[in-house]
Amino acid sequence: MHPSLVFTHPDECQLYYNCSLTYTNIPIHFEQHLQECRYPDFFSTQTLQCEKFTEVSCGTRKVLKDKCDYRQQQLSRTCALKYPSCSGKTDGLHQGNSGQNAYINCFQERLISTGTCENDIVWDAYMIPYNGRCTNRFEIPHKDGGFLPSCEGKADGNYRFKHDSSFMGYGDYFAFGRQCDAYYRCNGHNATAFKCPRGTVFESRNRTCKAGNHSIEWGCHVYCQPNFKMSGPFPINWAECPYPEQFSESTRRCENFTKVTCGSRPQEKDFCRYWVQLYLYRNMGNCGGYHFSCAGLPNGINEHPVKRPGPYYVRCLEERLIEDGTCPMDTEWEIQMFPYNGQCTQRYAIPITYHNIGFLPDCSRKLDGNYKYPSAVTRCDVYYRCKGGNATALKCPPNTNFEENSRLCMTNVNCSGQ
C-alpha cells in the first residue's frame, strides 16, 4: 500500500524495512523488504537511513557490537576468524588472529579495522600490538611477551640487553638479543628501551653508546662494530673474529689469539663452535668432519683425529687448530713420515709399538751400543743405537752399510736385504 515507505525494525538497531525493495529470492536470515545497515552502522529513526553508530540512539532496540552477529555475516563459517570480536576490549589495537604482528582496531567494542603492524625502521624490528598501538618488542616487558627485561632488584642505570631464548621465535637463531646497538635503562625499578645512535655501539664499562669497536663480555671472539650487519640471524652491529683470532680490547680489532688478553671473557677454541659456523652447519651439517678439534691435544703436530693411523696430521697451538695436512716424504731416509711427538717423523725413528707404524725397537733391556733393525726392515744402511735404555735411529753415510759384527757402517758390506 505504501511502496516507498522506510521504517525501523522493532527489535534490532541495525535492521530496517524498505518497501521499495522486493526480493525474488529472500536471503537466509532475512524476510521480505528487510535490509541491514553496513557494520557497524545503525538505522536512525530521525533520518530514516543508516548512520554511524555513534550518532544513533537505539532506544529499546537491541544493539549488536560484533560484526559476525550482523545477519549478512552469519552465512560465513569463518567469520569469527576473519573478524574477531572487540567485546570487552579497550579502544585501540589488539592482537589479531593471523600472526604475531596482526592487529584488530577496536572502538567502543566495535571492530573498526584489521591490519598488520609495520616494521620499526629505527630498531629494524617488526612490531606487535601492545597497549593499543603497534610497539616493537624491545619496548614491551618480558612478562608481556616482549624483550624488555625486568628492573626488579637492579640499581638505577643502563644495562645491556642479554640474550634470551624467547628471541629464537623471531628470527634470532642463537638468541643473542640486541647486545650491541641498544640498551635499557632502569629508573626506580622501571625499564625503558633505548636505541644507540647510528655509528655507535653500547660499551659495557661506561654503560653508554660510544663510537668504535667494543668488546662484549659474552665472548672473546665476538665484538660490537658500528654500522655493520652480518647476514643471517645475527643482531645489528654484532661481529665475530675469523677463527682462531680474538678481539683485543687494547687495539679494538681482531688479533692473533696469542696476543689477546681475554680476562673474564669466555674463550672459544674450536672452529666449529664459532657462531657463524654453528649457523652455517646448523641443518645436519658436518662441520667436525672438515674442521677438527684440538681439544686436549698438546702443541705441535698431532695425529689426525679422524684419518688415523696414517701420515695425516693436525697442528695445534693452545688447543686451537692451526693447520691440517699430510706429512711429506723424508728425502734423506727416503721413506714416508708420520705425525709423532709433535712433529712429522720418519718411520725408522718411531717406536715399533706406535700404531704398527714405527720400526724403532725397544732398548729398555738392551746394553748400550749399535744394533741392526729387525728382519722386517730390509735396508742395510740404517741402524739404531741404545743408550741408557733409549733408542735413536741412525743412517749410515753414503756408500756404506751397517756391518752387524763390528756394529759399524762400512764399505763392501754384503747386504742381502737390499
Q: Does the bond joining 309 to the residue before it have cis omega, within 30 degrees of 0?
A: yes
Q: Going by C-beta distance under 8 Å and a sequence separation of 6 or more, which residues neighbour residue 258?
A: 317, 318
| pLDDT digits 0-9 by tens, 119-147 | 998 888 889 999 999 999 889 998 888 88
Question: Helix, strand or coil for residue 406?
Answer: coil
| pLDDT digits 0-9 by tens, 242-291 | 999 999 999 999 999 999 999 999 999 999 889 888 888 876 778 888 88
DSSP 298: P
Instruction: Note whether 300 and 342 are within 8 A (CB).
Output: yes
Question: Helix, strand or coil for residue 54?
Answer: helix
Task: Provide the mean pLDDT of the chain.
Answer: 90
3-state helix, strand, coil in the chain (%, to 5): 10, 35, 55
Q: Does the bond joining 311 to the residue before it have cis omega, within 30 degrees of 0?
A: no
Q: Going by C-beta distance under 8 Å and a sequence separation of 6 or more, which residues neighbour residue 249?
A: 215, 261, 263
* Residue among 274, 314, 276 nearest 296 (CA): 314
- Edge-to-edge strands, sheet with 312-317: 300-303, 312-317, 320-326
| pLDDT digits 0-9 by tens, 45-76 | 999 999 999 999 999 999 999 999 999 998 88
Distance between CA atoms of residues 375 and 383, nearest Å: 12
Mean per-residue pLDDT, 392-404: 94
Q: Give yes or no for residue 394 having a pLDDT over 80.
A: yes
Distance between CA atoms of residues 348 and 75, nearest Å: 91
CA distance readout (Å), 120 to 101, 125, 128, 195, 217: 12, 5, 10, 12, 28
Q: Give yes or no for residue 172 having a pLDDT over 60.
A: no
Question: Helix, strand or coil for residue 209?
Answer: strand
Distance between CA atoms of residues 259 and 241, nearest Å: 14
DSSP 79: H
DSSP 252: T
- The residue whose grid cell reads 573478524 is 83
Beta carbons within 10 angstroms of residue 241's beta carbon: 21
Beta carbons within 10 angstroms of residue 32's beta carbon: 10
Q: Going by C-beta distance under 8 Å and a sequence separation of 6 or more, which residues neighbour residue 334?
A: none
Question: Helix, strand or coil for residue 323?
Answer: strand
| pLDDT digits 0-9 by tens, 173-197 | 566 668 899 999 999 999 999 999 9
Distance between CA atoms of residues 258 and 220, nearest Å: 12
| pLDDT digits 0-9 by tens, 297-344 | 999 999 998 887 889 999 999 999 999 999 999 999 999 999 999 999
- The residue whose grid cell reads 741404545 is 386
Q: What is the pTM of this model?
A: 0.71
Per-residue cell: 67: 560484526
Q: What is the DSSP string of 91-136?
A: SEEEE-SS-TTEEEEEETTEEEEEEEPPEETTTTEEEEEETBEEEE
Dihedral angle over CA of 391, 397, 401, 402, nearest 10 = -30
Beta carbons within 10 angstroms of residue 93's beta carbon: 26
Distance between CA atoms of residues 15 and 19, nearest Å: 13
Per-residue cell: 365: 733391556
Give the DSSP H or E segment for 279. Answer: helix 275-280
Distance between CA atoms of residues 299 and 361, nearest Å: 26
Question: Helix, strand or coil for residue 275?
Answer: helix
